[in-house]
Amino acid sequence: MDALTALRDRLGSDNVSTSPTVLHSHGRDENFPEVRPPLAVAYATSVADVQTVLGWCRAYHIPVIPFGAGTSLEGALVPADAQAPGISLDLSRLNAVVGIQPENFLAVVQPGVTRTALNTALRQTGLMFPVDPGADGSLGGMAATNASGTTTVRYGGMRANTAALQVVLANGEILRLGRPVPKTSSGYDLKDLFIGSAGTLGVITELTLRLHPLPEHIHTLRVFFPSLTAAAQAAYAVMASALPVARLELVDPMSIRSINRYLGRNYPEAPGLFLEFHSSSAAALESEVALVEALVREAGATDIAVARTPEERTAQWEARHHVYWALVNMHPGHVYVITDTAVPLAHLPASIAFAQQLLREMGLEGSILGHVGDGNFHTLIAVRPADYGRAHAFAEQLVHQALAVGGTASGEHGIGLVKREYMAEEHGPALEWMRRIKALFDPDGLLNPGKII
């Protein structure tokens, strides 16, 4: 009996796919230049199925890559070894909202539940789950990559909004990590160790997530500037003002131009900030609006547009979330390199200026945008496949610059295959301790091998 026949016998033939289309979709992402299909895709419909798959992997010594919605970047889902690709463990069918506890501001979900599905389930509670990376990722995958996004500056990312996890280890053991309480000082924080581990330590099978009240008083605006540096300096001034910033996003003229074409908007094609404030009262909102307008005008703002209705607010954030696809639409036949550095806030304007200058020097066309309220910005570079190496060289220099000022190679996308080479520079001797932790939880090296370390 061959290995895949044994897997079908254990899991059921309907839950194991070798369809070329399915394999292709499970062996790629938007920021890795190759497609490396797995040997098969196994679909879990229960925690017992996860244990069954991991037991089969141990028996046949075949690697496994946990898979959620496929929205991650940096090659986290791509097999490290194209000659021994292993299988993809798809958790999308584990998609139940197990329970909502409005009185505790908590929700318990399976890993295949998406963030929009959870917020739909919360619609009658007056609560929301705030982590918003743009893509409709699965919550298990978002925890596995410590996803964040536009609202991180106020609410934090997945680590801050996950109270507890259930995980299955490589040996099949089930652990419950963390507690469903606002705080705990009990023992080592293994829960946070698994958040951001990209499936290299275990498989997340349940999450207890923190919820937040829906804001009643919201102020949203778009502000445009004569230069990207002026916009970045204004972002720093806003963050230094103690205003209740909920979103603070930088967009450059190329991004705006692509959005205007892709979504039919007529925004000024200039460097800009998209901002949103969640205030405590209508009276506070009025004074905060006056202060933010004074700050951005002092920084050189040339145009301020206020989103006055919920529909206008939705349209503004739809535009921000569609920037990537708008840029792809403008560059058919290209491949993309997406940078994800984050730096201390005081270094943000200079780091963005460095990225602009480097693009010019290397003759690359790229869009600079990001979550500048928390020091994280992205460069999206579109190149012909033959020029991928040049774009990667740009990304490499940007990482070195970020690390030199105390920043990080990845603010939110993770490490995957793409950024492993920078881990030693960023973490020094701590990297060896990460390797020891990996060996402790996964002694056979079967869980998403070759990633992060």
Can you give the CATH number for the domain in which 241 is found?
A: 3.30.70.2190
Q: What is the pLDDT of residue 93?
A: 98
Q: What is the CATH number of the domain that holds 187?
A: 3.30.465.10
- 8 Å CB contact between 139 and 109: yes
Do 239 and 317 fall into the same domain?
Answer: yes
Do 32 and 125 fall into the same domain?
Answer: no
Q: Is residue 396's pLDDT more than 90?
A: yes
**How does strand 87-90 pair with strand 40-43?**
parallel
pLDDT digits (tens, 9 = 90+) for 199-232: 999 999 999 999 999 998 899 999 999 999 999 9
Q: Is residue 315's pLDDT more than 70?
A: yes
Q: Is residue 289's pLDDT more than 90?
A: no
Do 11 and 56 fall into the same domain?
Answer: yes
Do 110 and 172 fall into the same domain?
Answer: yes
Is residue 426 in a domain? no
Residue 369 carries which DSSP code?
E
What pTM was estimated for this model as a whole?
0.94
Helix axes of 228-239 and 282-298: crossing angle, nearest 10 degrees: 140
pLDDT mean across residues, the chain: 95
Is residue 438 in a domain? no
Residue where one domain finishes, among candidates 187, 213, 239: 213
Do 205 and 108 fall into the same domain?
Answer: yes
Residue 37 one-letter amino acid: P
Do 221 and 291 fall into the same domain?
Answer: yes
Question: Rounded to whole angstroms, how far apart are CA atoms 400 and 408?
Answer: 9
Query: What number of residues does the chain have?
Result: 453
Do 294 and 343 fall into the same domain?
Answer: no
- Domain with 209, as residue range(s), is 97-213
3-state secondary structure of 386: helix
Is residue 447 in a domain? no
Is residue 448 in a domain? no
Number of structural domains in the chain: 4
What is the rounded (10 degree) CA torsion for 39, 42, 48, 52? Answer: -20
Q: What is the CATH number of the domain that holds 395?
A: 3.30.70.2740
Q: Which of 419, 437, 432 is nearest to 170 (CA)?
A: 437
Do 201 and 273 fall into the same domain?
Answer: no
pLDDT digits (tens, 9 = 90+) for 46-85: 999 999 999 999 999 999 999 999 999 899 999 999 999 9
Q: Is residue 1's pLDDT more than 60?
A: no
